[in-house]
């Protein structure tokens, strides 16, 4: 069933698109929303102080459902989304990324579930097909990847436990009631990455999700995608663990795995003291896990090699890292 443009008895869905230097991709992202078979939408593009012609690309589109607002300075995607929500009018809020595309029936299928008689779901999401890998180099072929994968158990209704393992509710797949979004306070503007994971965890505390198991969003990665910044990802993951410590504490095996992943992130960035600290936390929860023990040995060997080659500089590097590490009591953030 398709919804004609004149079918205004259906609730308005406000679609928020934050954009920063996306002149090359923003038009396709917007047009994929305007082509939706569920036509009672408004599209609000929030230009986050772009330095390219993103604004010109948006203004070149002529559609009464499209609005453009601009931030006074670069505030980040979470703040840009919150500003878009603040000026929106819909009872339901959806989000699109400025370099991704929706298939035409995305909103129709999601809203049919959310508006079904007897539904009490506060939000819905759908499958996502990554068609351009984050680490794919120019000229290389990419293998599409579907999220959520078939190994994930509990993808509908109460998502709390499943979301502790990993995030599978990406922002551009989400439709949420304004009431629920307001109740949890919108996006956390202190997070530089994984803000969708944090929002999904907070919404899951508040109510249930409907899931459409179809790849209705095509995800791509631009050169300035936040997901490419490993330092920001690492810091944000630490913040999410601390922010939802009460939930993670109920699942020590899951928490241990996240500590192990953080240790790996620190190791790849050259922060061996940070890697050792997180491995210590992981081993404290799962002392005989072979993966944790293997990484502990690798980190120890790298630390020994660095000290053997440059003992003086190694000591200085250690002191400098100590100086910029989180203060006591905030080490998990």
Please give the pLDDT value at position 4.
Answer: 42
pLDDT of 333 above 50: no
C-alpha closest to that of 177 among 218, 121, 233: 121
Please give the pLDDT value at position 5.
Answer: 46
**pLDDT per residue over 40-77, tens digit each?**
999 999 999 999 999 999 999 999 999 999 999 999 99
Query: What is the rounded CA–CA span in Å between residue 92 and residue 210?
Result: 14
Q: How far is CA 168 from the centre of its chain?
A: 9
pLDDT of 302 above 90: no
Question: What is the overall mean pLDDT for the chain?
Answer: 87
**pLDDT per residue over 10-29, tens digit each?**
999 999 999 999 999 999 99
C-alpha closest to that of 94 among 36, 47, 147: 36
**pLDDT per residue over 171-223, tens digit each?**
999 999 999 999 999 999 999 999 999 999 999 999 999 999 999 999 987 66
Please give the DSSP secondary-structure letter assigned to residue 307: H
**Tokens in use for 107?**
């909103």
Mean of the pLDDT values across residues 111-140?
86
Cα torsion for 250, 187, 197, 265, to the nearest 10°?
Answer: -100
Neighbouring CB atoms inside 10 A of 49's CB total 15
Please give the pLDDT value at position 223.
Answer: 63
Please give the pLDDT value at position 81.
Answer: 98
pLDDT of 330 above 70: no
- Give me the percent of the chain exceeding a pLDDT of 90: 73
Mean of the pLDDT values across residues 288-315?
66
Please give the pLDDT value at position 54.
Answer: 97
Burial of 279: CB neighbours in 10 Å, binned 0-12, 13-18, 19+: buried
Query: What is the rounded CA–CA span in Å between residue 95 and residue 142?
Result: 25
Domains and CATH numbers, the chain: 13-227 (3.90.550.10), 251-324 (1.25.40)
Please give the DSSP secondary-structure letter assigned to residue 270: T
Query: What is the rounded CA–CA span in Å between residue 184 and residue 207?
Result: 11
Give the pLDDT band (50/70/90) at residue 319.
very low
Please give the pLDDT value at position 142.
Answer: 73
Give the pLDDT band (50/70/90) at residue 327.
very low
Phi, psi for 2 (deg, rounded to 5): -110, 150
Query: What is the rounded CA–CA span in Å between residue 20 and residue 29?
Result: 13
Please give the pLDDT value at position 306.
Answer: 53
Mean of the pLDDT values across residues 275-294?
92
- Listed in sequence order, the DSSP H helices in the chain are 26-34, 54-59, 77-87, 106-114, 160-165, 178-184, 195-206, 230-243, 245-249, 252-268, 272-285, 290-309, 311-324
**pLDDT per residue over 243-265, tens digit each?**
999 999 999 999 999 999 999 99
More confident residue, 326 or 139: 139
pLDDT of 30 above 60: yes
Please give the pLDDT value at position 248.
Answer: 97
Please give the pLDDT value at position 22.
Answer: 96
More confident residue, 190 or 326: 190
Phi, psi for 129 (deg, rounded to 5): -110, 115
pLDDT of 7 above 50: yes
The pTM score is 0.85
Please give the pLDDT value at position 100.
Answer: 97
Burial of 304: CB neighbours in 10 Å, binned 0-12, 13-18, 19+: exposed
**Tokens in use for 246?**
């009460």
């Amino acid at each position: 069933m398709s919804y004609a443009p004149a079918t205004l008895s259906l609730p308005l869905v406000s679609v928020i698109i934050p954009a920063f230097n996306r002149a090359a991709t923003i038009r396709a992202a917007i047009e994929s929303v305007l082509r939706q078979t569920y036509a009672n939408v408004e599209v609000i593009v929030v230009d986050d102080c772009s330095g390219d012609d993103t604004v010109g690309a948006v203004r070149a589109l002529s559609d009464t459902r499209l609005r453009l607002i601009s931030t006074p300075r670069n505030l980040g995607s979470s703040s840009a989304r919150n500003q878009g929500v603040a000026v929106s009018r819909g009872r339901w809020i959806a989000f699109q990324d400025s370099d991704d595309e929706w298939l035409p029936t995305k909103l129709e299928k999601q809203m049919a579930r959310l508006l079904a008689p007897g539904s009490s779901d506060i939000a819905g999401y759908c499958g996502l097909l990554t068609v351009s890998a984050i680490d794919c180099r120019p000229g290389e072929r990419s293998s599409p990847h579907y999220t959520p994968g078939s190994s994930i158990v509990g993808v509908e209704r109460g998502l709390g436990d499943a979301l502790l393992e990993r995030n599978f509710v990406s922002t551009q797949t989400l439709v949420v009631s304004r009431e629920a979004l307001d109740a949890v306070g919108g996006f956390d503007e202190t997070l530089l990455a994984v803000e969708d994971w944090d929002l999904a965890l907070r919404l899951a505390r508040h109510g249930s999700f409907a899931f459409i198991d179809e790849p209705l969003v095509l995800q791509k990665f631009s050169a300035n995608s936040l997901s490419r910044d490993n330092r920001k990802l690492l810091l944000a993951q630490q913040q999410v663990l601390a922010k939802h410590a009460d939930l993670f504490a109920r699942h020590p095996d899951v928490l241990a795995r996240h500590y192990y992943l953080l240790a790996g992130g620190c190791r790849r960035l050259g922060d061996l003291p940070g890697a050792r600290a997180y491995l210590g936390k992981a081993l404290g929860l799962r002392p005989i896990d072979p993966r944790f023990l293997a990484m502990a040995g690798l980190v120890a060997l790298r630390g020994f090699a660095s000290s053997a080659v440059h003992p003086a500089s190694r000591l200085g590097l250690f002191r400098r890292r100590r100086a910029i590490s989180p203060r006591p009591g905030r080490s998990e953030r």
